[in-house]
Structure 1
Amino acid sequence: MKREIIITADGSSTIHIPEWNEQYHSKHGAIQEAYHVFIKHGLHQSCHVEDIRNTDGSKISILEIGFGTGLNAFITLLEAEKINQKVNYVGVEAYPVSLEEIKQLNYATTLNVTNKDSFFKKLHNVSWEESYAITDNFKLTKRKQLFSEIKDEQAFNLIYFDAFGARVQPELWTEDIFQIMIKALKPNGILVTYSAKGSVRRAMQSVGFLVEKLPGPPGKREMLRATKHSTKVMS
């Protein structure tokens, strides 16, 4: 499918798919959305819940569903440096963005961190299926696989669920997928997503998640955060 680089309302770029009329990020602001959903309501909450935002070397493990442009990984790397939190980050993507497209994205410039642009490039240049220390606080593993193929069990503190919307890919927002997600989380682990659809919330609840609605990012009224409260998972 044809893909175009566009500029969103906060000045940051994203990829637009005309055939679907769908973007990798919100047209109301790619960076604003990413910080609101995944950092404010994901990373910061997870650090608080696990009480691991400290200096004893503890890591937080994050699974990203839809590595895409690498924006969520990049801002997590920046935040990890800011708060001195060690992060083990696994990004899953079945259809990687091309390096030519990556070169056209303006995240380091828009965030005013051009001195960190080498880290953004490294996120994309390192090989798939291997683990790399991008910084002292941020270790990345990129896995090229379908979301339905994820087999991890009790491996992650936090999931960034950033798949394409249910309007264009409803198969990614089903009970079967959220069953895989809840199994992949450690007890008290959380999942955050920009979506607030009722069908998505019900699919999460059906597999055992405790789901809460939160204020959404610019241009969106609500988002969802789901918590796994025990080791018991529905089969």
Structure 2
Amino acid sequence: MATIIKTEDGSNSIQSAQFEATYHSIHGAIQETQTVFIEAALKHKATTQNELSILEIGFGTGLNAFMTYLEALKLELQIHYTGVEAYPISEAIAKQLNYAELLNAQDKEQQFLNMHAQTNEWLECAPNFKFYKQVGRFEDITAQNQFDIIYYDAFAPSVQPELWETTILTQMYQALKPKGVLTTYCAKGVFKRRLKEIGFDIEAIPGPIGKREMTRATKK
């Protein structure tokens, strides 16, 4: 069962009864996505290339994908976006999320809802933004040198520790192209040590409101 909650920046999130966790920071869903994924990953890579392939681990509410879509339109980026989610939310829940209103993108709300409605096939949200929602487990990803960016937005290590172990992080490393980046809100020492052991270069950068640091990892 999922319950809609309001975060401190006015944007909605979801409280998961199954995992006893929220999908976003209580300090603000939109501000967290803007800091962790749009600024630290998308805009970071867009300084050197305008064609990007993105993998999102934990599609969840679709906020990361929707904000990336809006940014792609603004910056004229060519993006292929794959969101992976084992437990998709219902379209009824998606309709209760207020992202289009708060982002002044009411005319794009139908595309947001389409992202939730369509699974396991490509959706053209715009000529420069292709979207694919893959329903399945993160552990089953077998991509090799395919993505420029990974948004690692799984539930926290305290909730799903298996998603922060060396095995799955190695799969993420293999899925990235050389010089590809992975960003996440997590800055735990053991997590960063695992990334280094796999072969990532690690940066501890300022986190969203409520978190002193976050992590950006670059494939050598």
- RMSD, matched Cα: 1.1
Percent identity between matched residues is 48
- Aligned pair count reads 220
Q: Distance in 2 between matches of 1:131 and 1:116?
A: 18
Residue 97 (structure 2) aligns with: 105
TM-score using structure 2 length:
0.97
Residue 49 (structure 2) aligns with: 52
Q: Distance in 2 between matches of 1:205 and 1:115?
A: 43
Residue 211 (structure 2) aligns with: 220
The answer to which structure has the higher strand fraction is 2
Residue 134 of structure 1 aligns to a residue whose secondary structure is strand
1:132–1:20 distance in 2 versus 1, CA, 3 Å: closer
Residue 82 (structure 2) aligns with: 90
Q: Is the CA contact (8 Å cut-off) linking 2:200 and 2:218 kept in structure 1?
A: yes
Q: Which amino acid aligns with 1:52?
A: Q
5+ unaligned residues in a row in structure 2: which ranges?
none
5+ unaligned residues in a row in structure 1: which ranges?
54-58, 230-235
User: Following superposition of structure 1 onto structure 2, how do residues 73-84 of structure 1 map, counting pairs within 5 Å?
Assistant: 73-84=65-76
Shift of 1:47: 1.6
Runs of 4+ in 1 over 3 A off after TM superposition: 18-21
Q: Is the CA contact (8 Å cut-off) linking 2:54 and 2:151 kept in structure 1?
A: yes
User: Following superposition of structure 1 onto structure 2, how do residues 3-152 of structure 1 map, counting pairs within 5 Å?
Assistant: 3-18=2-17, 20-48=19-47, 51-53=48-50, 59-126=51-118, 128-152=119-143
Shift of 1:21: 4.1
Q: Distance in 1 between matches of 2:129 and 2:102?
A: 21
Shift of 1:151: 0.2
Structure 2 residue corresponding to 1:169, chosen from 134, 154, 160: 160
Shift of 1:20: 4.5
Q: Distance in 1 between matches of 2:3 and 2:97?
A: 11
TM-score using structure 1 length:
0.91
* Higher mean C-alpha displacement, 7-16 vs 21-30: 21-30
1:19–1:183 distance in 2 versus 1, CA, 3 Å: closer
